């Protein structure tokens, strides 16, 4: 997901709705730290439109996999296999996206690795401060209210997104800014209605 978001911002595809099964989904904000849309200048208008469509299809597949499997990728496959490296064969049906990956994968990979390191630090800070108890409390409250006593299943995916907010992107998948947990009141205000919809 990190590589996909980097490429989206690099190509200037930010600000368009992410398609879901029932039509247009949420508009995700830009990543933080910001990625300059340098690749947009490398593409013609028609290539950019094609890239936008191909990117959204790729993103939708990732979100759907999260909803079904609880993970956007097969746990036993390395990133290279998932993307079809070195030629990005997994994207043969998406030529504009394949071209972007070939040109910018190295920078995307480095950016994603740095965000993972940064997230590990943020996650330790949240855990030490007990900031995720809000999520546990909301899930417990909803489970107690839940229909027929069913267990509530929710996938929370924290990403380096610039806005402190959350987006419901699937039947049970919520994307949220990794900084949102720092404001427990705001975190609760976003997650409570989403958890009600999911459960």
HSE-up (13 A, CA, CB side) for residue 28? 29
Can you list the residues of the chain whose pLDDT is less than 70?
15-25, 69-82, 146-150
Torsion of Cα atoms, 49 then 64 then 139 then 141, to 10°: 90
pLDDT number for residue 75: 42
Say what angle helices 45-69 and 2-10 make with each other, to 10 degrees. 160
pLDDT number for residue 74: 46
Number of domains within the chain: 1
The residue range of the domain holding 83 is 2-198
Whether the full predicted model's pTM is greater than 0.75, yes or no, is yes
């Amino acid at each position: 997901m990190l590589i996909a978001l980097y490429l989206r911002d690099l190509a200037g595809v930010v600000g368009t709705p992410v398609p879901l099964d029932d039509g247009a989904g949420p508009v995700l904000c830009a990543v933080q730290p910001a990625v300059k849309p340098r690749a947009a200048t490398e593409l013609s208008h028609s290539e950019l439109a094609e890239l936008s469509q191909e990117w959204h299809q790729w993103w939708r597949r990732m979100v759907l996999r999260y909803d079904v499997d609880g993970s956007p990728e097969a746990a036993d496959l390395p990133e290279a296999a998932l993307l079809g490296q070195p030629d990005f064969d997994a994207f043969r049906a998406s030529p504009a996206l394949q071209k972007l990956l070939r040109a910018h994968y190295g920078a995307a990979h480095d950016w994603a690795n740095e965000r993972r390191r940064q997230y590990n630090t943020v996650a330790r800070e949240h855990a030490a401060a007990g900031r995720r108890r809000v999520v546990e409390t909301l899930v417990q409250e909803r489970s107690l209210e839940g229909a027929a006593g069913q267990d509530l299943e929710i996938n929370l995916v924290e990403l380096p997104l610039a806005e402190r907010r959350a987006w419901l992107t699937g039947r049970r998948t919520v994307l949220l800014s990794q900084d949102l947990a720092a404001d427990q009141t705001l975190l609760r205000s976003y997650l409570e209605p989403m958890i009600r919809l999911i459960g």
